[in-house]
């Protein structure tokens, strides 16, 4: 009988397969991924003084500015100034066509002369009427005496009484009143005509500078748009909004430092002029006006300005870069650099000016703090200090 050896071959194959699998498992077990260091920048916590500043912003404008709109429509006959010219109070800037207004003024003057002549005539008539009335009173007195003596008739007495009545006198008085009213009306008409003639000249209401001019000779001005804008630029004003937290830090007359980068580097001194006692409508901030001298004219209308004030200070506080402070799971922490590992440390912070933060509790002077790369760290992370490549913390 023939023997079959197939099962032995199968068993050998299985053993070889299992050996290969076990070898693979052993090889996988020893292949542990290499930990990679996270690049960070490190600085020391140290004591120093800290100030928190608040910046208020706004745009500067002239302390006084007026838009000159023609009071009457008309055609421009002459423009006397240019943009940038300095002007004085009452100086004529633009002249409109005056022909119609001059004619109206002449007619009004003639009408006044006629009315005044009529008044003189009426007054003369009144004076004559008063004299006649006095004579009639005297005649009546004599006639009454004669009548009492029987020397004149009743009809003669009545005629004397009629002559002594004030009817004619009252008529003359009425004529004078009417003439006076006509004179007054003529004067008003003349005043209106003269005012209209004056309105053909657009003048500067104060000394300043022409900052805008919208008129050319021959152009018709409708009396709706500004023909010119005059501004007083020797002093400029900044209106800014102040929170209720800061409003009582200011008082009228207080000097403050203004930064206007477009005009000059550094700061210039301004003076608080007014502080609103109530917030602006619809806001919770208080308008404050600051005046600043502009003798050289470097500050232009519309330039951006800022006022920086110190709101909080700390002396000899333990300070770290603000960027080094992070929040993890609701806790405020920093990462210490200890040897080649990051150690997460919970801290209590004080004031922060955006660059430096006060540490009230949790650190000591000389602790090395991670201020770059901290967002990628966990407690115990392997780190590589690259501070020398990035530069010192500022």
Name the residue with higher pLDDT: 31 or 110: 110
Output the six-digit token pair for 366: 């000389």
Percent of the chain scoring above 70 in pLDDT: 90
As to burial, measured by CB atoms within 10 angstroms (0-12 exposed, 13-18 middle, 19+ buried), residue 330 is exposed
Q: Name residue, tokens 């115990």.
A: 380
Query: Across all residues in the chain, what is the average pLDDT?
Result: 88
Distance spanning both ends of the chain, measured CA to CA? 96
User: What mean pLDDT do residues 313-317 have?
Assistant: 93
User: What mean pLDDT do residues 302-314 have?
Assistant: 90
Determine the pLDDT at residue 394: 45
Least confident window among 26-30, 136-140, 260-264, 265-269? 26-30
C-alpha–C-alpha distance, residues 116 and 176, integer Å: 11
Output the six-digit token pair for 248: 């009582």
Percent of the chain scoring above 90 in pLDDT: 69
C-alpha–C-alpha distance, residues 297 and 236, integer Å: 10
Long-range contacts of 187-193 (CB under 8 A, 24+ apart): 187/112, 189/108, 189/111, 189/112, 190/105, 190/108, 190/109, 190/111, 190/112, 192/108, 193/101, 193/104, 193/105, 193/107, 193/108
C-alpha–C-alpha distance, residues 154 and 156, integer Å: 5
User: What mean pLDDT do residues 30-58 have?
Assistant: 88
Determine the pLDDT at residue 286: 95
C-alpha–C-alpha distance, residues 96 and 76, integer Å: 4
pLDDT tens, position by position, 151-175: 888 898 889 888 888 888 899 899 9
Q: Are 341 and 369 in contact (CB under 8 A)?
A: no
C-alpha–C-alpha distance, residues 64 and 124, integer Å: 56
Residue 87 has pLDDT above 60, yes or no: yes
Determine the pLDDT at residue 15: 52
Least confident window among 30-34, 127-131, 137-141? 30-34
Determine the pLDDT at residue 103: 93
Determine the pLDDT at residue 332: 95
Tell me, what DSSP letter sits at residue 382? B
Nearest-10 Cα torsion for 5, 7, 12, 14: 160
Q: Name residue, tokens 């040897």.
A: 339
Least confident window among 16-20, 59-63, 97-101? 16-20
pTM: 0.60
Residue 261 has pLDDT above 50, yes or no: yes
Residue 4 has pLDDT above 60, yes or no: no
Q: Name residue, tokens 């490549």.
A: 389
C-alpha–C-alpha distance, residues 146 and 140, integer Å: 10
Q: How confident is the model at residue 391 (pLDDT cuts 50, 70, 90)?
A: low
Determine the pLDDT at residue 104: 93
Q: How confident is the model at residue 215 (pLDDT cuts 50, 70, 90)?
A: very high
Task: With H, G, I as helix, E, B as strand and everything else as coil, classify residue 238.
Answer: strand
Residue 285 has pLDDT above 90, yes or no: yes
């Amino acid at each position: 009988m023939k023997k079959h050896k197939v099962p032995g071959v199968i068993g050998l194959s299985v053993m070889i397969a299992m050996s290969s699998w076990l070898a693979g498992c052993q090889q996988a077990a020893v292949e542990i991924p290499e930990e990679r260091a996270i690049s960070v920048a490190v600085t020391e916590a140290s004591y120093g003084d800290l100030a928190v500043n608040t910046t208020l912003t706004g745009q500067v404008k002239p302390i006084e500015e007026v838009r000159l709109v023609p009071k009457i429509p008309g055609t421009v006959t002459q423009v006397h100034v240019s943009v940038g010219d300095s002007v004085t109070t009452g100086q004529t800037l633009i002249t409109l066509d005056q022909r119609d207004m001059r004619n109206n003024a002449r007619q009004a003057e003639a009408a006044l002369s006629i009315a005044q002549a009529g008044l003189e005539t009426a007054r003369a008539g009144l004076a004559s009427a008063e004299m006649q009335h006095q004579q009639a009173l005297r005649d009546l007195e004599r006639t009454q005496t004669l009548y009492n003596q029987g020397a004149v008739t009743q009809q003669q007495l009545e005629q004397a009484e009629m002559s002594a009545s004030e009817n004619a006198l009252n008529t003359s008085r009425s004529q004078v009143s009417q003439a006076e009213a006509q004179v007054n009306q003529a004067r008003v008409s003349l005043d209106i005509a003269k005012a209209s003639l004056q309105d053909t000249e657009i003048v500067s209401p104060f000394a300043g500078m022409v900052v805008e001019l919208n008129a050319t000779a021959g152009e018709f001005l409708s009396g709706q748009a500004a023909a010119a804008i005059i501004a007083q630029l020797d002093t400029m004003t900044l209106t800014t909004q102040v929170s209720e937290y800061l409003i009582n830090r200011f008082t009228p007359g207080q000097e403050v430092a203004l930064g206007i980068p477009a005009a000059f580097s550094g700061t210039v001194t301004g003076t608080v002029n007014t502080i609103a006692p109530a917030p602006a409508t619809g806001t919770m901030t208080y308008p404050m006006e600051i005046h600043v001298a502009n003798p050289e004219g470097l500050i232009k209308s519309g330039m951006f300005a800022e006022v920086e004030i110190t709101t909080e200070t700390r002396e000899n506080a333990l300070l770290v870069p603000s960027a080094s402070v992070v929040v993890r799971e609701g806790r405020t922490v920093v990462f210490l650099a200890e040897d080649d590992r990051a150690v997460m440390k919970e801290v209590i912070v004080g004031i922060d000016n955006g660059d430096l933060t006060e540490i009230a509790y949790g650190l000591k002077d000389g602790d090395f703090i991670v201020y770059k790369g901290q967002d990628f760290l966990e407690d115990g992370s392997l780190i590589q200090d690259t501070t020398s490549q990035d530069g010192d913390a500022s």
